[in-house]
Structure 1
Amino acid sequence: MGIELLSNLSSKIISLIQEKNVSEAEFYGKFDDIIQVEITSNGVGKIVSRSIGKYALRIAIGKRIGLTYSENIDEKSIPNIVDKAISITKTAPEDEKWPGFPKGYSGKGGLKVYDKDLASITPESLVKFLGEVIDTSIDSARKAGALEAVVTRGYLWIVCSSIYIENSYGDSISGSSTALSIYYNIYVRNKEGDTAYPFIIQVRSLDRDKIFNKVVETAKLAVKFIGAKPIDSGKYQLLIMPEVHGELVETVFSPAVSAYSIQRNRSPLKDKVGEQIFSKDITIYDDPHMDYGFGSRPFDDEGIMTTSKPLVDNGVFENIVYDHYTASIEGKKSTGNAVRRRLNSVPTPAPLNIVFKAKNTEDLESMINMIKKGIIVYGVIGSWMSNPVNGAIQATITHGLYVENGEIKYPVKGVVMGGNYYNYLKQDLIALGKDIVNYAHIYAIPILVDNVPIAGK
């Protein structure tokens, strides 16, 4: 239904535009069927289902480019939207680098990004599933030593998305995907005190084993953080767990490999292609063709086929990611990495699925045994304060475990970690972990790092 609706809307808009004095046009439409379930301290709350259709229209008049956006998918609104887009474009400054809209749409065939089981789940089944998640979380925390365990406020989202892209050159492409997100806090208490720890998972399919394994793991960890306190300032070894590592990658490394950042001198990787930036044991792919990967997609937000490629190969920086505009500036072809952060913004290049593939890895127990004096970092806030321009890290540890000579001593919170991400994965790297865990579209591994400055008490 979503794709058909968007296709009909686009066809009418493009036809009307072609009657005007417009050089070219591009329609990008998105239709979401959403189920949102509230999680409360009393269990499963209200369920809300809704459908949202919206689209962006970009047009060019010569070298002037304009964009307008609408959540009104009533066909009666089309003339006003088209007139608004033309008016915006006529007053826009000329862009001498404008290459025109992309042509020749195509997508990767056979890619699994749509889960029928997730898309067809009934409200009754969803309530039962979420009830099992909550009960398992509480039971697991109590078995781990909590005298009291409560799942506090959170949510479950299921989104079935349809995308339709069309240009005035006769190209069109469409696709559908599913996504499941669950977030809540597990509050735990025992004789030593209390704390809360977040459960977060983002997947494309209803993988019950993956979900419930993480539910149990999160509940057990929550109990370990009771009684957390700051430690003294100094330099420590940090064992950064995959979810936190993924946050740092998203904040610091992902923007750095984008041609948008590099062309604006906002990346430490400018002129570094072919150079060793990380340990030789580290290979990192942008792999949008991984079945059910959270960032997987057959085509990008400009209708160009996505590509799987190494960003870093054995520590060497190999590939920058491009959209159509940034690629044309350098006389290259798009790598299929155009991403629209919002529908009312122009596409910019970004990695789609960042996947770590490391050599000479260690299991978690071995990595803990390597720690002489350090912290296992399970949760942070404020990682957005880290700097993608130079790789500087700044984040406050909210959930950590202090370790001496391989032995976990007590939980840690309220200290600020610093250092530089590129040092983390090169000269300060001690070990790489085996386990790959996704933080949204970042599939990261644990890393054990030396000489990290900690601002504590």
Structure 2
Amino acid sequence: MDKNTFIDLVFKKAKQKNIEEFEIYFLSGTNTSLKVYNEKIDSFSDNQNQGISFRGKFKEKMGYSYTESFTEEDADFLIKEAEENASVIESDDEQIIYDGKGNYVSVETYDSSLENLEISKIEEFLINMEKEALQYDSRIKRVSTCVFGMGKSERIIKNSKGVDLRDRGNVAYVYISVAAEENGIIKTGSEFKVGRDFNEFNYKEISHRAAYKALSKFNSISVDLKESRCVIENLAFTSLLESIAGIFSAEAVQKGVSLLKGKIGEKIASDKVSVIDNPHLEKSEGAASFDSEGVPTKYKELISNGVLKTYLYNLKTAKKDGVESTGNASKGGYKGTVGISSFNLYVQNGVKSFEELLKDVNEGILITDFAGLHSGLNSISGDFSLAAEGFIIENGKKGRALNQMTVAGNFFEVLKNIEEVGNDIRFSLSSTGSPSVIIKNLYFSVD
């Protein structure tokens, strides 16, 4: 049977069994990927999955179950399995079914034009992007990756307390990586674009940026530095923020694995720094009107002018702290348990351009990329020692590329040492973003 009929059937059977509280959660997803190589389709995939989870409260214990098939027998199985699972749960943590109170903000998460995007049009776009990169400069020898990806999802939450919510979303991206060679030395560069309107994707602009990044790394130099004032470019600082973002989770705070514990209302960053989680950001990939528990999402400043204002909460962690949920419950699929995550997490734009930041530093280092974030950054202590790429800043302008360097520091100290924030915010593929920033000092060793 179709999903809607099945959901109604499960709901009816759960009501008939007088289950104390229950929730039905449906999620479907489609992921399409197309790669080209040497002007031909190299690979194509179109994966689909869907399923329904059920959670119900039996004798004050919450049991979970899920299914990928929708028959009457599956409806009976869901309820029986959840009851059996509840009987063996040992945790005393209270699980909460949301009561549906609150105002839901309507946000745009879907563009029907992506549904009608023909494969031939995508193929043509990728081939043109590959050609443009190779024609940009004779030193561009290879396009390593040239890919289009698109994801589509639908979500339904219905529970015994009156919640009945539905949404759907989609997003597309293109990514290109190139290799350039000069005098036997090879350098790489990459670029991407994310959005819901494919007409806004410009293959020339994307390919040219990737090629420029690779070529700009030639004729690199070494400088003898131990400590320097620096600019961290937008996507590089975004990668730092993305890797440390778990510190804002109330669950991490309550478990004692976030150094932000007990610091609400305290100054933890420069006055220049405000960190936002905005589920209602226009044309954003992380937009949502409700979270994975059906709670309305909210705009919130986690850090406001350097002061820590809130953590990110779901219903369980909010009850522990005696506060309202911030609407940040998350699930890693219909099988997943409820966790916490941000929607669009970003450092708020400042007023100065990237060029003005370089001018302010005058003499220093520009960091354009970090590597090894998963192994070189401790997400609890904030300590990091990372390989990085970048350029010398001379006379207030971007100079020659630097040989690979190692950058060491502590993320919490970096937040305090931000002197200026640019106006060039850019988001990663995972809806985390930042402008470029000036850091008072970082410690370097250059190969």
Does structure 1 residue 24 correspond to structure 2 residue 21?
yes
Q: Which residue does 2:77 correspond to in 1?
A: 80
Does structure 1 residue 112 correspond to structure 2 residue 108?
yes
Q: Which residue does 1:402 correspond to in 2?
A: 392
Measured after TM superposition, the shift of residue 93 of structure 1 is: 1.0
1:80-135 CA distance string (max 9 Å, x none): 3443333222111142x415311216763441111122222111222222223323
Q: For the aligned residues, what is the CA RMSD?
A: 2.7
The runs of at least 4 consecutive aligned structure 1 residues that moved more than 6 Å come to none
Measured after TM superposition, the shift of residue 287 of structure 1 is: 1.0
Letter in 2 for 1:337: N
Does structure 1 residue 364 correspond to structure 2 residue 360?
no
Contact 1:192 1:226 in 2 (8 A): no
Contact 2:98 2:161 in 1 (8 A): no
Contact 1:65 1:94 in 2 (8 A): no
Measured after TM superposition, the shift of residue 323 of structure 1 is: 0.9
Question: Equivalents in 1 of 2:284, 2:309: separation in Å?
Answer: 22
Measured after TM superposition, the shift of residue 209 of structure 1 is: 5.1
CA separation of 1:188 and 1:8: change in aligned 2, threshold 3 A? farther
Measured after TM superposition, the shift of residue 266 of structure 1 is: 1.7
Q: Which residue does 1:274 correspond to in 2?
A: 265
1:316-370 CA distance string (max 9 Å, x none): 11222211111111222211111113433322222211233244x4322232234
Letter in 1 for 2:104: K
Query: SS of 2:130's equivalent?
Result: helix
Does structure 1 residue 49 correspond to structure 2 residue 46?
yes
Measured after TM superposition, the shift of residue 224 of structure 1 is: 1.0
Unaligned runs of 5+ in 2: none
Letter in 2 for 1:436: I
Letter in 2 for 1:450: K
Q: Which residue does 1:34 correspond to in 2?
A: 31
Measured after TM superposition, the shift of residue 372 of structure 1 is: 5.6
1:124 corresponds, among 120, 123, 130, to: 120
Question: Equivalents in 2 of 1:125, 1:75: separation in Å?
Answer: 42
1:210-240 CA distance string (max 9 Å, x none): 7754443232111112355776562233321
Question: Equivalents in 2 of 1:208, 1:123: separation in Å?
Answer: 17
Question: Equivalents in 1 of 2:431, 2:272: separation in Å?
Answer: 22
Unaligned runs of 5+ in 1: none
Contact 1:185 1:199 in 2 (8 A): yes
Contact 1:283 1:313 in 2 (8 A): yes
Contact 1:186 1:219 in 2 (8 A): yes
Letter in 2 for 1:274: G
- TM-score, normalised to structure 1, is 0.88
CA separation of 1:420 and 1:78: change in aligned 2, threshold 3 A? same
Does structure 1 residue 326 correspond to structure 2 residue 323?
no
CA separation of 1:54 and 1:433: change in aligned 2, threshold 3 A? same
User: What is the aligned-residue identity percentage?
Assistant: 19
Contact 1:43 1:151 in 2 (8 A): no
Contact 2:347 2:433 in 1 (8 A): yes
Written as runs of structure 1 = structure 2, the 5 A alignment for 1:439-454 is: 439=428, 440-454=430-444
Does structure 1 residue 136 correspond to structure 2 residue 132?
yes
Measured after TM superposition, the shift of residue 207 of structure 1 is: 5.4
Greater Cα offset, 120-129 or 55-64 = 55-64
Q: Which residue does 1:63 correspond to in 2?
A: 60
Q: Which residue does 2:195 correspond to in 1?
A: 203
Written as runs of structure 1 = structure 2, the 5 A alignment for 1:165-204 is: 165-191=157-183, 193-204=185-196
CA separation of 1:353 and 1:40: change in aligned 2, threshold 3 A? same
Query: SS of 1:277's equivalent?
Result: coil
Letter in 2 for 1:452: L
Letter in 2 for 1:113: T
Measured after TM superposition, the shift of residue 199 of structure 1 is: 2.5
Q: Which residue does 2:335 correspond to in 1?
A: 344
- TM-score, normalised to structure 2, is 0.90
Greater Cα offset, 234-243 or 283-292 = 234-243
CA separation of 1:405 and 1:323: change in aligned 2, threshold 3 A? same
Contact 1:231 1:415 in 2 (8 A): no
Measured after TM superposition, the shift of residue 244 of structure 1 is: 1.5
Measured after TM superposition, the shift of residue 289 of structure 1 is: 0.6
CA separation of 1:355 and 1:115: change in aligned 2, threshold 3 A? same
